Chain A
Amino acid sequence: MLITVNGENKEAPEGLTISGLLQFLKIQPERVAVELNLDIVKKDRYGTTPVKEGDSVEVVSFMAGGVWSKSTVWTKSTVST
């Protein structure tokens, strides 16, 4: 079945749950959060929430970043003091 994961089209086996999808994507479920069609899926529902053809899934985790992580912004201009 064709689904969208993090904005990318992805061909995944039929009949997967969120747990199954994470396994298929080789993602450890501990430190991620998952959205299915814009709704957050609680961790205890991963095993029982099915993923269907055409679904849109977001899998996010914690990445480096402080107040702003887009490095191009702060190098654009320098102010002399």
Chain B
Amino acid sequence: MEQVYRVDQVDRVDVKHGNTVPSVHNNGNAVALVQKEYSMPDDKLIIAGIEFRSRLWVGTGKYKDFAETKKAIEASGTDVVTVSVRRVNIIDRGKENLLDFIDPKKYKILPNTAGCYTAKDAVRTAMLAAEAGISKMVKLEVIGDEKTLFPDNEATLEAAAVLIKEGLIVLPYMSDDPIMAKKLVALGCPAVMPLAAPIGSGLGIRNPYNIRIIMETVKVPVIVDAGVGTASDVAFAMELGCDAVLLNTAIAGAKDPIKMAEAMKYGVLAGRMAYKAGRIPRKLYATASSPLEGMIGS
């Protein structure tokens, strides 16, 4: 008979065979380990030679304070944290610094060009970010319009070309447009980041078919970026076969950001596992689960 274990007794899940293995030393952190085990060693996310442990990437904006930011990031189980590039406050030097809370040794810090409306500004910001010395990998964002915050695809292509020539690793935020994805990859982007919906809208994946076509069009990782609202949105993105999800507002704007961060962790894990497991096809009519033989009265 199959032994049933409590979740805190499980320290390893053999995903390939679906077996749970009992813990010899109970460390009470089963799910974190499940996620770690699951994404390694046979389900790695590698972009430009850099290995990512987590398929959930998070932003650092809109939190109450840095302490809350730190707690939410820890709860999310992520290892990739996006940050913006801004002028140092030269008047008040006493202010706390985000990177005192988010340790760059522990997390991959991904600088972005959030807030840039022209290719020129985005290039300038990205070059400064690379010079500040944390990473040559940047998330390129060129915003086209303040109301929708939709990307300016033309300007994004222009900026990407310059930055790639300068030796940066460019992860572009883009519309959910397969042609755009193709052009960015042709320029040398090692991954693309199509939006699910407008930034901060929480609407979830508005056009899953486009996301699927993007995945079939380009042979690089596809990271859904922006617009997800809750854990099921994240799970859905992963079930579609996306390689990762980047979000910020869905956690930071939740009533309880730390709880939502944890929910997102499970959402990504559940979605990824379901994708790997292979879902049943959709059918219009019923298929009985129970055998029909041996029914009484037959």
Q: Which residues of chain A have a CB within 8 Å of any CB of chain B?
A: 5-8, 10, 25-27, 30-35, 38, 40, 42-43, 58-71, 73-74, 79, 81
Contacts and interface: CB of A to CB of B under 8 A. Distances in A.
Contacts of B249: 66-67, 74
B268 to A, nearest CB: 16
Query: Size range of the interface on B?
Result: 35 or more
A38 B125 CA distance: 11
B133 A69 contact: no
Contacts of B115: 65, 68-70
A34 B293 CA distance: 78
B84 interface: yes
A31 B149 contact: no
B88 A6 contact: yes
B298 interface: no
A57 to B, nearest CB: 10
A59 B115 CA distance: 17
Contact of B86 (A10, A27, A63, A66): A63
Contacts of A59: 87-88, 90
A25 B98 contact: no
Contacts of A5: 90
Contacts, number: 148
B253 A74 contact: yes
B148 to A, nearest CB: 10
Contacts of B143: 68
Contacts of A73: 146, 149, 199-200
Q: Most chain-A CB neighbours within 10 Å: which of B69, B84, B85, B93?
A: B84
Interface stretch (B9-17, B45-53, B106-114): B106-114
A71 B134 contact: no
B32 to A, nearest CB: 23
Nearest to B132: A33
A74 B127 contact: no
A69 B129 CA distance: 16
A70 B141 CA distance: 14
Contacts of B133: 30-31, 33, 43
A62 B63 contact: no
Given A31-B99, A66-B62, 17 more contacts: A5-B90, A6-B87, A10-B90, A33-B129, A61-B88, A62-B85, A62-B99, A64-B63, A66-B248, A67-B173, A67-B199, A67-B248, A67-B249, A69-B62, A71-B62, A79-B201, A79-B203
A51 B32 CA distance: 50
Nearest to A30: B133
Nearest to B146: A73
Q: Most chain-B CB neighbours within 10 Å: which of A10, A25, A63, A79?
A: A63
A59 B69 CA distance: 24
A44 B127 CA distance: 16
A61 B226 contact: no
B98 A63 contact: yes
13 contacts: A30-B133, A31-B97, A31-B134, A40-B127, A59-B88, A61-B132, A62-B132, A64-B61, A64-B63, A66-B58, A66-B112, A67-B200, A69-B62
